[in-house]
Amino acid sequence: MPVRTQTRWLSVREAASVLGFATVSFRRVIERHARRAHDGSIEARFDGIVARKCGRSWRVHLSAAWMTGRA
């Protein structure tokens, strides 16, 4: 049976806090990297970070390398 890993999506504020960015600065970085994904959604992918636009807000997934040592 395949092992399922549960992806935890963070808000921009939570992700910025983990990474040590100001929220506004991190949101701007995401917006600069934003592109239309193959499924039609807006997505930003850079440095092990994936952000997807959900309505008016962004949801962020950080790779395991960013989350090492975090609870």
- Give the confidence band of 68 by pLDDT, cuts at 50, 70, 90: confident
CA dist list (Å): 6 to 3, 9, 22, 40, 54 = 10, 10, 27, 23, 19
**Token pair belonging to 55:** 């309505």
pTM assigned to the model: 0.81
pLDDT tens-digit series, residues 17-50: 999 999 999 999 999 999 999 999 999 999 999 9
d(CA 51, CA 59): 5
Domain residues of the chain, as ranges?
A: 10-67
**Token pair belonging to 42:** 């807006």
